[in-house]
């Protein structure tokens, strides 16, 4: 391998990477190293090809990768977020049961996103935590089933409160008040959230009856035989030391 050559890794298509040795001056392909199904493997094989050469390579490794197009608008959201952070003034009058347009932003993976220019969607004010600071549950008009979703009505339109996406927000994320959720609907939301939390974090057995205690004990897995053996060995050692 000539010192005036370099290794070229080209992404031909999804998960197909071609590795070759090229001339530095005219980029003519001199040798095909191989085709691999991951970038990691392609780099490893390129490095192996370099290390196996007598002279080495002076100009290293170059890449030609397919540009990944993303539908996410992270940079645009960062600009909006910076503007929101710069907002001054007092928090608007906000109360529990209120429905507000909330700038939830552009988020990662399964995290719920906002829409439109302000990356917002309706959010239910679940609780006021401090002045200008609230616990809010985002909503969607797309039907969902499950214990983490509660259907409510707002001016005759069905909305689904997403309890698994509940989060804290600063008042600067609030843009406009949509209205107030019906008391019965809000009661349903609170009851559902309470049940979800109870399932995730069971209450202690204090004051529980025999049935509840039995159910809790039955849910605790039996001790591993090896762990019991190790505990017995520790006890035996202590006896020997005495």
Q: What is the pLDDT of residue 215?
A: 60
Domains and CATH numbers, the chain: 5-64 (3.30.420), 74-200 (2.30.30.110)
Q: What is the pLDDT of residue 159?
A: 96
Q: What is the pLDDT of residue 1?
A: 47
Q: What is the pLDDT of residue 218?
A: 56
Q: What is the pLDDT of residue 188?
A: 96
Residue 66 burial (CB < 10 Å; 0-12/13-18/19+)?
exposed
Beta strand residue intervals within the chain, DSSP E: 5-13, 16-23, 29-36, 61-64, 98-103, 120-130, 133-140, 149-154, 157-162, 167-170, 174-180
Q: What is the pLDDT of residue 94?
A: 96
Task: Report how far residue 39's alpha carbon sits from residue 59's, in angstroms, rounded to the nearest whole number.
Answer: 19
Q: What is the pLDDT of residue 143?
A: 93
Helix, strand, or coil here: 199? helix
Number of H helices, E strands in the chain: 5, 11
Say if CB 104 and CB 114 are below 8 A apart.
Answer: yes
Q: What is the pLDDT of residue 179?
A: 95
Q: Whole-model pTM? A: 0.59
Q: What is the pLDDT along the chain (242 residues), one digit of tens a residue?
A: 455 678 888 988 888 999 988 887 777 888 889 999 998 898 888 888 877 775 555 557 788 877 666 678 888 999 999 999 999 989 999 999 999 999 999 999 999 999 999 999 999 999 999 999 999 999 999 999 999 999 999 988 999 999 999 999 999 999 999 999 999 999 999 999 999 988 888 766 555 566 665 665 555 555 555 555 555 665 555 555 55
Q: What is the pLDDT of residue 83?
A: 93
């Amino acid at each position: 391998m000539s010192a005036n050559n370099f290794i070229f890794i080209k992404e031909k298509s999804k998960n197909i990477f071609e590795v070759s040795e090229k001339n530095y001056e005219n980029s003519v392909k001199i040798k095909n190293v191989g085709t691999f199904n991951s970038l990691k493997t392609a780099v490893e094989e390129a490095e192996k090809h370099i290390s196996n050469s007598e002279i080495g390579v002076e100009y290293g490794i170059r890449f030609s990768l397919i540009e990944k197009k993303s539908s996410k608008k992270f940079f645009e959201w960062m600009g909006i977020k910076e503007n929101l952070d710069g907002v001054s003034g007092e928090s608007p009058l906000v109360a529990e049961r209120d429905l507000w347009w909330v700038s939830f932003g552009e988020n990662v993976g399964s995290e719920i996103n906002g829409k439109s220019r302000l990356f917002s969607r309706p959010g239910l004010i679940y609780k006021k935590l401090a002045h200008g600071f609230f616990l809010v549950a985002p909503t969607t008009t797309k039907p969902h089933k499950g214990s983490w979703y509660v259907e409510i009505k707002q001016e005759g339109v069905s909305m689904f409160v997403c309890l698994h996406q509940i989060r804290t927000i600063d008042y600067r994320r609030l843009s406009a008040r949509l209205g107030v959720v019906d008391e019965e609907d809000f009661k349903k939301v609170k009851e559902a959230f309470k049940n979800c939390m109870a399932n995730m974090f069971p209450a202690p057995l204090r004051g529980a009856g025999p049935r509840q205690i039995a159910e809790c004990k039955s849910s605790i897995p039996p001790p591993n035989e090896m762990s019991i053996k190790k505990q017995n060995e520790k006890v035996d050692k202590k006896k020997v030391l005495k």
